[in-house]
Amino acid sequence: MLPITEIRTKASQWLGSEFNEETRNEVREMLDKDEKKLIDAFYQDLEFGTGGLRGIMGAGTNRMNIYTLGMATQGLSNYIIKQFGQSGIRVAVAHDCRNNSRYYAETTADIFSANGFDVYLFEALRPTPELSFAIRHYKCQSGVVITASHNPSEYNGYKAYWNDGGQVVPPHDKGIIDEVRKIKSVKEIKFKREKKKIKIIGKETDALFLQEVLKMRLNPDIINEFSDIGIVFTPIHGTGGTLIPDALRLFGFRNIISVPEQDKVDGNFPTVKSPNPEEPDALKMAIDKAIQTGAELVMATDPDADRLGIAVKDKHGNFVLLNGNQTGVILTYYILSQYKERNKYKGNEYIIKTIVTTDLLDKIAESFRVKCYNVLTGFKFFAELMRKLEGKETYIGGGEESYGFLPGDYVRDKDAVASCALVAEATAWAKSRGMSLYELLIDIYVSYGIYKEKLINLVRKGKEGADEIKGMMKSYRNDPPEEINRSKVVRIDDYETLISVNYVTGEKNNIGMVKSDVLQFFLEDGTKISVRPSGTEPKIKFYFSVNTKLESSLKFEETEKLLDQRIQGIIADMKLS
- Of 305, 359, 351, 301, the C-alpha closest to 331 is 351
Q: Which residues contact 488 (CB under 8 A, 6 or more apart)?
A: 482, 503, 523, 524
Q: Which residues contact 286 (CB under 8 A, 6 or more apart)?
A: 232, 233, 234, 259, 262, 298, 299, 300, 311
Strands (E), 73-196: 90-95, 118-122, 142-146, 155-162
State the Cα–Cα distance between residues 516 and 169, nearest whole angstrom.
13
Instruction: Compute the chain's Rg from CA coordinates.
Output: 24
State the Cα–Cα distance between residues 391 and 386, nearest whole angstrom.
10
State the Cα–Cα distance between residues 417 and 133, nearest whole angstrom.
12
State the Cα–Cα distance between residues 281 and 288, nearest whole angstrom.
11
Strands (E), 330-440: 349-354, 371-375, 394-400, 404-406
345-360 residues labelled b (16+ CB within 10 A) or e (exposed): eeeebbbbbbbbbbbb
Q: How far is CA 262 from CA 85, 236, 240, 242, 248, in A?
A: 45, 5, 11, 13, 18
Q: How far is CA 285 from CA 22, 183, 261, 263, 511, in A?
A: 38, 46, 9, 12, 45
DSSP of 351-379: EEEETTS-THHHHHHHHTT-EEEEE-SSH
Q: DSSP code of 524?
A: T
* Three-state secondary-structure class, residue 94: strand
Could you tell me if residue 360 is left (phi over 0), alpha (psi between -120 and 50 degrees) or otherwise beta? Answer: alpha
Q: How far is CA 259 from CA 152, 219, 249, 273, 274, in A?
A: 21, 28, 17, 16, 16
Catalytic residue flag (residue 552):
no
State the Cα–Cα distance between residues 119 and 128, nearest whole angstrom.
17
- Choosing from 77, 101, 113, 149, the catalytic residue is 149
State the Cα–Cα distance between residues 508 and 143, nearest whole angstrom.
41
- Of 70, 93, 94, 91, the C-alpha closest to 180 is 70
545 membership: H or E segment, kind and range: strand 539-548
DSSP of 235-304: -TTSTHHHHHHHHHHHHT---EEE-HHHHS--TT-TT-S---TTSHHHHHHHHHHHHHHT-SEEEEE-TT
CA 173 to chain centroid: 18
530 and 519 in contact (C-beta within 8 Å)?
Answer: yes
State the Cα–Cα distance between residues 257 and 253, nearest whole angstrom.
11
Residue 470, number of CB atoms within 10 A of its CB: 14
Residues with active-site annotation: 149
